[in-house]
Amino acid sequence: MTSTLFTPFAMRGLTLANRIVVSPMCQYSADDGSATDWHIEHLGMLSHSGAALVVIEATGVERAGRITHGCLGLYSDANEAALARVVGAVRRYSDTPIGIQIGHAGRKASAARPWEGGGALRPDQHPWQTVAPSALPFDQGWRMPKALSEAEIDRIVDSFATAARRAARIGLDEIELHCAHGYLLHEFLSPIANRRDDSYGGSRENRMRLPLRVAEAVRAVWPADKPMGARLSSTDWREDGWTIEDSVAFARALKERGCDFVCASSGGIAGRIAVPQGPGYMVPFAQRMRREAGIATRAVGLIVTPLQAEAIIAEGQADMVALARAVLDDPRWGWHAAVALGAEAHYAPQYERVRPKTWPGAALARGG
């Protein structure tokens, strides 16, 4: 059996060893945006998963653009130094490429950590003023955001570029713009959150203006030999919202601006929208953008088994798969997928002794 999941994939000067990507995952464990020892442990663990790329969690380009008080940021010299320390520690023992997702939480900022109840911060929890395209809250019980002025929009574009420069200085390998899940750039795209009547609202072209300005500004400062991509909410799952047809148009426009891939996620624009989740339920969005926009895609969402991931790549539905919960559950997911698919994964020399061909226990451990 020849696995396609374990074939290399090149984007600009970065060649991924296989098609498995660790999806960005908020850890809510930063200190005023600065990465901590938890991040060394978390990213270090994932760098030995057999995945070809680990993407660092949603990282705020402004202090007010963090989702929670514990979210990572790249808005200060201290943030940059802290992340450089973490990346340096991980790289000491792993050559797995590391990417980063940069974003702004918009009207979903100023939230509590999930284990502190989630939702909008209460007055005694140091909430802050949120911003959005329009003064419309995310849902009942959420803070009323301030509609951004054109000058403030310009400042946010600059913040994305400044954060990208910091990520480049740290030497990260890949950058991903967070245009999904109801955060600021998605809020501009979606007619559900964007009711502006200036050049940033109304037509789809106008609603795409800010995210595309951000893509241009980031591409201009991000090294030309390194890939840049974007995560989209492919659909809002509501008739009056952003659709997959809109996503195809947006993906084309991103490609024209030097974007190398899109990651096809979905949802998150407002409360109380039902999402029909099931295994691989967003894969068709990746397939459609790949086919119709001619851009590399990353499929994500309830991709759990090696055979499922293999089929997505082998059938040309996507170029890469991103996994979140399955790799947290099994941080050696890539090793185990290689065994299941008859391929080879990378092991750190310290861990070579569990490579299946040298360890008779491997088959027993997998119930063989």
Number of shown-chain residues binding ligand FMN (CB under 6 A): 20
| Shortest CB 179 distance to ligand FMN, Å | 10
Q: Does 266 bind ligand FMN (CB under 6 A)?
A: no
Q: Which of residues 270-329 bind ligand FMN (CB under 6 A)?
A: 300-303, 323-326
Angle between helix 306-314 and helix 333-341 axes, rounded to 10 deg: 70
Least distance from ligand FMN to the Cβ atom of residue 43, Å: 13
Q: How far apart are CA 214 and CA 104, in angstroms?
A: 11
Is 60 within 8 Å of 30 (Cβ atoms)? no
Q: Which of 30, 53, 54, 58 binds ligand FMN (CB under 6 A)?
A: 58
268 vs 356, beta carbon nearer ligand FMN: 268
Q: Closer to ligand FMN by CB, 242 or 356: give it.
A: 242
Shortest gap between Cβ of 105 and ligand FMN (angstroms)? Answer: 10
Question: Which of 21, 24, 69, 297 is in the footprint of ligand FMN by CB under 6 A?
Answer: 24
- Whole-angstrom distance, CA of residue 68 vs CA of residue 115: 11
CA distance 312 to 307: 9
Piece in contact with ligand FMN (CB under 6 A), picked from 21-29, 139-147, 208-216, 307-315: 21-29
Task: Give pairs for 15-18: CB < 8 Å, separation 24+.
Answer: 16/52, 16/53, 16/97, 16/320, 17/52, 17/346, 18/50, 18/51, 18/52, 18/334, 18/343, 18/345
Task: Give the number of other CB atoms < 10 A from CB of residue 225.
Answer: 8
Decide if 158 contacts 166 (C-beta within 8 A): no
- Rank residues 201 and 303 by Cβ distance to ligand FMN and give the closer one: 303
Please provide the DSSP assignment of 259-319 as one string.
--EEEEE---SSSS------TTTTHHHHHHHHHHH--EEEEESS--SHHHHHHHHHTTS-S
Interaction between residue 98 and ligand FMN (CB under 6 A) = no
Residues annotated catalytic, as ranges: 183
| Region 167-186 residues binding ligand FMN, contact defined as CB under 6 A | 178, 180-181
> Looking at beta carbons only, is 185 or 303 nearer to ligand FMN?
303
Instruction: Please give the DSSP secondary-structure letter assigned to residue 181.
Output: T
Q: Which is nearer to ligand FMN, 217 or 263 (CB)?
A: 263
CB of 59 to ligand FMN, least distance (A): 8
Candidate residues 68, 96, 101, 287; the one interacting with ligand FMN per rule CB under 6 A: 101
Spatial neighbors of 166 by CB under 8 A, at least 6 apart, are 74, 79, 80, 83
Question: In whole angstroms, what is the distance from residue 262 CA to residue 229 CA?
Answer: 5
Using CB under 6 A, pick the residue from 39, 42, 231, 332 that binds ligand FMN. Answer: 231
Least distance CB 112 / ligand FMN (angstroms)? 15
- Cα dihedral 279, 285, 289, 291 sign: positive
For ligand FMN, the closer of residues 84 and 324 by Cβ is 324
Residue 57 touches ligand FMN, criterion: CB under 6 A: yes
Instruction: Kindly list the residues in this chain that would bind ligand FMN in the complex (CB under 6 A).
Output: 23-26, 57-58, 101, 178, 180-181, 231, 265, 300-303, 323-326
